[in-house]
């Protein structure tokens, strides 16, 4: 009976003195220790002399224990008042949030603080239910297999973010996450909402990315399989032919395999045949080229709005003509290219600008296969050697301007150790580099490309106003393109450096995923290669694709 009375008296004193300390009405007590506990039932009522400093009693921390201990230790020696208690709560919450556990409740229960030890109850929300909605073409079991967050465990947004990034690598699907209060107290339900398309696509299209010798116009048709074996494997095939029938054709294919440990294997292959009319004569000749490439892709841990990955791979190419990558056909000996490729890709999303960039390094070991000697290379390009290295990089920020305007800036460069074959050179001119010129009017070993666009707000063309951008959109733009190139060793009388400059207007159109079109009208502002622009001093670049 006496012990119960003593305990009641101690509890009354603790309840009485705690508000006094918090509001500064009583004697100041300095903070000597902080203890994190999982619930009020675990409140420590005696033996405080062993809890000097920072301690964690039954609390599972999501991050580095040393980091939180160091942050809370900065509060030691301060008087225990409202400001100190609030600072501790804020430190704990921010630590959990930065560690990917934002759903945490921190409180200070009634307790004895006369020994200078302050106890915080830290409670994390647990996952209640995980629901999948909206997925018409992706089996729910397939989505469940890719979600590592489990029911009954603390909500970890780092794990969920990695899962979403992995799911959304498939271009036929976009999945978002919504957190809702759970039915049971202290739980949170996770809803994964998918917007997926039929994972098979057939398409046909045309553009004017060809050359005079084989025909400027090109038609192509292809098929995409977006979810083979319900494993998110993707297989693509395309057939391309020139408008001068029989002068050019190409087969290309790609197979992307997601691996169980969340790396990817990307396999690419292509074959092209050429029957070209030689310039300044009536002679014609035939050639071919083929390629097999492999990339091993390693997605790296995302950091908030920044995603990045490493790529390592090899290329094997074989050709006896450079027309696939050059406007002027040169037929020679058969040449083999083998090279190692190492790359890094990153993308950052921000309200001001979304930016992506890529750096790639290519290196050839030299003469290791038949037809890989420098003599074979020189037959296709004078001065080219089989041992080389070059670096290529690109950065593309898209700025979000007032009034729904957009500004796109694209910068690319390449630096090479020596003369390269045309397949490895940087091509300037055409639809994807310097518009207003025909395709690859300049091929150089070292190059710099700078392109700028101002884009109008998107709007529907045939649909009603207010139609979502994902359904139909048309967008106008103005552009300025500049390309500068330098070759290493040139033939006598040839210039080692060349440049292109143009400006013009463009138009983009999309209707769902069925129609995609673009047209760019450019005016060359530098005419050192007069034959590669039309007589009125301008050039149209276009591309149109129909898919189902």
- Tens-binned pLDDT, residue by residue, of the chain (548 aa): 434 444 333 433 343 344 434 444 456 799 999 999 999 999 988 877 778 899 999 999 998 899 999 999 999 999 999 999 999 999 999 999 999 999 999 999 998 888 899 999 999 999 999 999 999 999 999 999 999 999 999 999 999 999 999 999 999 999 999 999 999 988 999 999 999 999 999 999 999 998 877 888 999 999 999 999 999 999 999 999 999 888 899 999 999 999 999 999 999 999 999 887 655 455 556 788 999 999 999 999 998 899 999 999 999 999 887 654 444 555 557 899 999 999 999 999 999 999 999 999 999 999 999 999 999 898 888 899 999 999 999 999 999 999 999 999 999 999 999 999 989 999 999 999 999 998 998 999 999 999 999 999 999 888 777 667 778 899 999 999 999 999 998 777 677 789 999 999 999 999 988 999 999 999 999 876 544 444 457 889 999 999 99
Structure tokens that stand for 197 in this block: 């398309």
What totals of helices (H) and strands (E) does the chain contain, helices first?
6, 25
Specify whether the CB–CB gap between 199 and 184 falls below 8 A: no
CATH superfamily, region 2-124: membrane protein fhac (3.10.20.310)
d(CA 397, CA 410): 7
CB proximity list for 175: less than 8 A, separation 6 or greater: 143, 164, 167, 168, 192, 193, 194, 195
Of the candidates 289, 213, 214, the one whose C-alpha atom is nearest the C-alpha of residue 245 is: 214
Tell the CATH superfamily of the 127-196 domain.
Answer: membrane protein fhac (3.10.20.310)
**Equal fold, 2-124 vs 127-196:** yes
Between CA 122 and CA 61 the distance in angstroms is 10
Q: Report whether 171 contacts 120 (CB < 8 A).
A: no
Contacts of 310 (CB under 8 A, 6+ apart): 297, 298, 300, 342, 343, 344
Question: Which pairs with CB-CB distance under 8 Å and at least 24 residues apart come from 4-10?
Answer: 10/112
Decide if 250 contacts 270 (C-beta within 8 A). yes
Q: What are the boundaries of each domain within the chain? A: 2-124, 127-196, 425-548
**First-to-last CA distance in the chain?**
84
φ, ψ dihedrals at 520, nearest 5°:
-130, 130
* β 248-258/387-400 pair status: unpaired
């Amino acid at each position: 009976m006496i012990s119960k009375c003593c305990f009641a008296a101690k509890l009354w004193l603790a309840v009485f003195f705690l508000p006094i300390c918090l509001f500064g009405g009583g004697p100041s007590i300095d903070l000597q220790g902080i203890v994190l506990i999982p619930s009020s039932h675990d409140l420590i009522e005696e033996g405080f002399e062993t809890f000097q400093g920072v301690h964690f009693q039954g609390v599972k921390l999501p991050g580095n224990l040393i980091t939180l201990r160091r942050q809370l230790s900065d509060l030691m020696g301060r008087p225990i008042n409202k400001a100190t208690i609030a600072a501790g709560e804020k430190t704990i919450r921010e630590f959990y949030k930065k560690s990917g556990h934002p759903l945490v409740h921190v409180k200070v229960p009634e307790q004895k603080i006369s020994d200078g030890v302050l106890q915080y109850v830290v409670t994390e929300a647990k996952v209640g239910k995980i629901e999948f909605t909206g997925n018409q073409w992706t089996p729910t079991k397939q989505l469940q297999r890719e979600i590592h967050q489990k029911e009954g465990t603390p909500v970890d947004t780092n794990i969920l973010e990695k899962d979403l990034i992995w799911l959304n690598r498939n271009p036929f699907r976009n999945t978002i996450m919504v957190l809702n209060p759970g039915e049971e107290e202290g739980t949170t339900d996770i809803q994964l909402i998918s917007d997926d398309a039929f994972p098979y696509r057939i398409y046909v299209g045309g553009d004017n990315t060809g050359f005079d010798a084989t025909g400027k116009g090109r038609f192509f048709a292809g098929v995409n399989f977006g979810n083979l074996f319900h494993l998110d494997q993707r297989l693509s095939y395309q057939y391309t032919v020139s408008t001068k029938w029989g002068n050019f054709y190409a087969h290309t294919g790609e197979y992307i395999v997601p691996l169980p440990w969340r790396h990817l294997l990307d396999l690419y292959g292509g074959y092209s045949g050429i029957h070209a009319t030689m310039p300044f004569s009536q002679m014609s000749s035939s050639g071919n080229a083929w390629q097999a490439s492999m990339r091993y892709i390693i997605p790296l841990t995302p950091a908030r709005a920044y995603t990045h990955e490493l790529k390592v791979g090899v290329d094997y190419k074989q050709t006896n003509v450079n027309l696939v990558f050059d406007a002027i056909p040169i037929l020679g000996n058969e040449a083999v290219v083998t090279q190692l490729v190492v790359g890094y890709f990153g993308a950052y999303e921000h309200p001001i600008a979304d930016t992506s960039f890529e750096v790639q390094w290519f290196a050839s070991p030299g003469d290791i296969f038949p037809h890989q000697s420098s003599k074979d290379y020189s037959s296709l390009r004078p001065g080219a050697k089989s041992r080389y290295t070059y670096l290529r990089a690109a950065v593309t920020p898209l700025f979000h301007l007032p009034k729904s305007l957009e500004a796109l800036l694209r910068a690319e460069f390449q630096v090479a150790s020596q003369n390269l074959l045309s397949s490895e050179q940087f091509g300037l001119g055409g639809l994807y580099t310097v518009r207003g010129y025909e395709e690859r009017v300049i091929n150089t070993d070292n190059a710099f490309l700078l392109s700028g666009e101002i884009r109008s707000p998107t709007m529907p063309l045939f649909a009603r106003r207010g139609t979502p951008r994902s359904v139909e959109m048309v967008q106008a733009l103005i552009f300025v393109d500049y390309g500068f190139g330098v070759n290493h060793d040139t033939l006598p009388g040839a210039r080692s450096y060349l440049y292109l400059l143009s400006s013009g207007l463009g138009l983009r159109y999309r209707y769902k995923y069925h129609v995609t079109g673009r047209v760019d009208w450019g005016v060359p502002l530098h005419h050192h290669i007069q034959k590669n622009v039309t007589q009125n001093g301008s050039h149209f670049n276009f591309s149109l694709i129909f898919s189902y």
